[in-house]
Amino acid sequence: MKPPLFVRTSTDKERAQLEAGLHSPNAFVHRRCQILLASARGLHATAIERNLGCDDDTVRKVIKAFNAHGLAALHAKSRRPHRSGAAFAPEQAERLKELLHKSPRQYGKETSVWTLELVAEVSLAEGLTKERVSDETVRATLARLGVRWKRAKQWITSPDPEYQRKKVPGSTDPLDQPASRRGDRLSGRSVVEPLRTAPST
């Protein structure tokens, strides 16, 4: 049998926040405030479980979180994986820059436009990262390397050296099709601008 567990004595500020949370439109905040205030009234976890219809483990988890972290326990933690620019080691970061000088088609992709998502996918496949990283990690790494990116408002010129050859009258290449007829629509996604080698001085 689990030992009784109660919420610690709250400060006036905490108490006011918990009571205000009973009127919150956020179901997560509302439920946690109900649990904590019920515990403050002296109800056992099992009684709170019966009254609110939530399981005993949830009740105890909320109480422990508040006892340890205070009002921070009212906010849900992000479940998104945290990735930083450091996911690319310096050597791999340079390889990433070299990768962007090439067309995605050279890596078996059916597009000539690099997106942050596609960069992350190819980086993993090519061994630049040990695990799939987020778009934000790619964005941060590119910014560190001085590579620009932008939101795609329209189709942009491809770094694919074959691109201009493919843009001929009557071409059946999907790159020549209007955006409305293409299946790999990217409008609104983060797109990496083609890299160009700086002229020598």
Indicate the pLDDT class of residue 14, thresholds 50, 70 and 90.
very high
Point out the domain boundary residue: 74, 99, 114: 74
Q: Assess whether 98 and 154 both reside in one domain.
A: yes
* Domain-located, residue 174: no
**141 pLDDT exceeds 90?**
no
| 69/89 same-domain check | no
pLDDT of residue 118: 85
Q: How far is CA 159 from CA 33, 34, 60, 107, 146, in A?
A: 55, 57, 56, 13, 18
Same-domain pairing of 93 and 65: no
Do 92 and 144 fall into the same domain? yes
**pLDDT score, position 178:** 41
Query: Per the domain annotation, does 1 fall within a domain?
Result: no
Range(s) of the domain holding residue 90: 85-164+185-192
Residues 70, 110 share a domain: no
The average pLDDT across 109-130 equals 86
Per-residue pLDDT of 144-171, as tens digits, reads 877 766 543 333 334 445 544 544 444 4
Q: Is residue 79 situated within a structural domain?
A: no
49-97 pLDDT per residue, tens: 889 888 888 999 999 999 988 999 998 764 554 444 457 888 888 888 8
Q: Are residues 62 and 27 in the same domain?
A: yes
**Of the candidates 74, 95, 117, which is a domain's last residue?**
74
162-165's contacts with Cβ under 8 Å and 24+ in sequence apart are: 162/103, 162/105, 163/103, 163/112
Q: What is the mean pLDDT of the chain?
A: 74
Count the domains in the chain.
Answer: 2
Q: What is the pTM of this model?
A: 0.41
**Has residue 172 been placed in a domain?**
no
